[in-house]
């Protein structure tokens, strides 16, 4: 750092100098390394590893838990979905730095111990066995289900494209330039992820392109995909795919394409329109690219997570745990996810056949309200408030069918 000059700098020069210093500091990353806190010093930590697809969701829940009394600190690395489950299976410790979220919701970095620390949980959007090299979930690891997550095809907002079919995605990402899918023929503008990515695995299952055979540039994360697609110099040529969590948070730079699956007569967005946030077509099963979130964690003989802070964090998603002040339904809805209780369709396995679903305690109305700010449902406090409607049961503040 340079010495202070012996005279006062004019304000404009001082500002410029500070800006240059800030840029230099940001470039070398010196202060974050020097000032990073030890992860173990944070209150009641739980350590996780997995995908970046649901990092916005994890961030919101982590923030809420940081604000809770007592607090829990969620510490997370997101190298890719399958890295998480593989680390749990092989007992590979987390090393280096990891993210956590402070009480203001700001993502911070902390230093892990030099010897590493065993992960307490893994998170991803797919079943363990969809990951390369995972034949079965070993005994001693539990599979806990969270909300429904969608994967979206993305183009820059300046692109004229509106939809893509499964066949087009197969040819574009499977053959690249040779696929001749105009305008997606320049492989430097095909943005992909590797075979450990939930998004890649889901697109692979949908299109038939093997997970390791995708053509294009590896964006390394969902956020990376959004960045590369959104900033593409040739907007018409650019396309990628990412989770709805991340896509919805970046609609200023990327636009979601309608997806037309094999046997489908038209392409649909996850939402009822390209600009909506209602996830109507995910909920109804009209949009194909969705799966239920998984949290994996070591369990005891009774299937219970013995690590208390991990059990608290994972339990929020399964609804086994409630924490005063944390509204999981609202958090999931605002993160681009759909709680299971708001679904009208279900499926077994990743991209398995669809079947009709009526949740035991439906929450579709409350979901609509949280996700979009409005619902046509009748508000209620008790069942009697619903007795003159076709939806006789009051749930989550609205009249539902049961």
Partner 1 sequence: MPAQHDHPMPTGRSAPVVAAIVALALAGATALAACGSDAATASDLAVAIDFAASRPDGGAAPDLTVGADLACVGDGGCFSCPPARTSEFLNQCSGSTCARFDNRRLVLLDPDGGLPPL
Judged by the rule CB under 8 A, the positions of this chain that interact with partner 1 are: 160, 162-165, 167-168, 170-171, 174-175, 179-182, 208-210, 213, 258, 260-269, 271-274, 280-281, 284-286, 288, 345, 353-356
Q: Which is nearer to partner 1, 16 or 180 (CB)?
A: 180
Neighbours of 92 (CB within 10 A): 14
> What's the closest the beta carbon of residue 177 comes to partner 1, in angstroms?
12
Q: Which is nearer to partner 1, 201 or 297 (CB)?
A: 201
Which has the closest alpha carbon to 223: 246, 206, 196? 246
> What's the closest the beta carbon of residue 98 comes to partner 1, in angstroms?
37
Which has the closest alpha carbon to 379: 364, 363, 399, 393? 399
Q: Which is nearer to partner 1, 164 or 249 (CB)?
A: 164
In a 10 Å sphere around its CB, with 0-12 CB exposed, 13-18 middle and 19+ buried, how is residue 220 labelled? middle
Asked if 397 and 329 touch (Cβ cutoff 8 Å), the reply is no
Report helix angle 55-67 to 308-318, nearest 10.
120
Q: How far is Cα of residue 347 from the mean position of the Cα atoms in its chain?
A: 19
Q: Which is nearer to partner 1, 162 or 383 (CB)?
A: 162
> What's the closest the beta carbon of residue 365 comes to partner 1, in angstroms?
16
Q: Which is nearer to partner 1, 42 or 280 (CB)?
A: 280
> What's the closest the beta carbon of residue 104 comes to partner 1, in angstroms?
37
Q: Which is nearer to partner 1, 100 or 170 (CB)?
A: 170
Compute CA distances 346 → 277, 315, 353, 365, 368, whole Å: 20, 21, 8, 18, 18
Who contacts 5 (Cβ-Cβ below 8 Å, separation ≥6)?
A: none
> What's the closest the beta carbon of residue 18 comes to partner 1, in angstroms?
46
> What's the closest the beta carbon of residue 251 comes to partner 1, in angstroms?
16
Report d(CA 402, CA 399) in Å as an integer: 8
């Amino acid at each position: 750092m340079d010495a202070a000059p012996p005279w006062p700098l004019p304000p404009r020069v001082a500002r410029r100098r500070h800006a240059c210093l800030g840029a230099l500091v940001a470039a070398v990353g010196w202060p974050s390394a020097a000032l990073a806190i030890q992860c173990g010093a944070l209150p009641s930590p739980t350590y996780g590893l997995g995908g970046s697809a649901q990092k916005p969701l994890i961030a919101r829940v982590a923030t809420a838990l940081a604000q809770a009394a007592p607090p829990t600190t969620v510490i997370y690395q997101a190298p890719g979905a399958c890295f998480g489950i593989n680390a749990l299976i092989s007992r590979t410790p987390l090393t280096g730095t990891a993210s956590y979220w402070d009480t203001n919701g700001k993502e911070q970095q902390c230093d892990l111990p030099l010897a590493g620390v065993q992960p307490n949980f893994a998170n991803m959007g797919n079943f363990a066995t969809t990951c390369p090299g995972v034949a079965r979930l070993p005994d001693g690891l539990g599979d806990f289900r969270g909300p429904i997550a969608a994967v979206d095809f993305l183009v820059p907002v300046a692109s004229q494209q509106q939809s893509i079919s499964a066949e087009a995605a197969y040819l574009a990402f499977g053959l690249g330039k040779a696929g001749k899918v105009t305008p997606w023929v320049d492989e430097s503008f095909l943005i992909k992820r590797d075979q450990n990515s939930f998004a890649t695995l889901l697109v692979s299952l949908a299109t038939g392109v093997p997970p390791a055979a995708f053509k294009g540039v590896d964006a390394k994360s969902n956020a990376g995909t959004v960045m590369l697609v959104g900033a593409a110099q040739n907007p018409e040529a650019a396309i990628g795919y990412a989770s709805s969590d991340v896509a919805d948070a970046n609609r200023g730079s990327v636009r979601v394409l309608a997806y037309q699956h094999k046997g489908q007569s038209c392409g649909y967005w996850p939402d009822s329109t390209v600009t909506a946030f209602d996830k109507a077509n995910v909920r109804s099963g009209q949009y194909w690219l969705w799966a239920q979130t998984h949290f994996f964690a070591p369990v005891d003989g009774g299937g219970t997570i013995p690590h208390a802070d991990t059990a608290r964090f994972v339990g929020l998603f399964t609804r086994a745990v409630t924490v005063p002040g944390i509204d999981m339904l609202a958090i999931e809805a605002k993160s681009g996810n759909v709680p299971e209780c708001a679904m009208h369709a279900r499926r077994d396995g990743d991209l398995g056949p669809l079947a009709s679903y009526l949740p035991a305690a439906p929450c579709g109305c409350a979901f609509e309200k949280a996700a979009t700010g409005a619902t046509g449902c009748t508000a209620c406090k008790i069942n009697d408030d619903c007795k003159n409607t076709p939806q006789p049961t009051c749930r989550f503040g609205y009249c539902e069918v049961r």
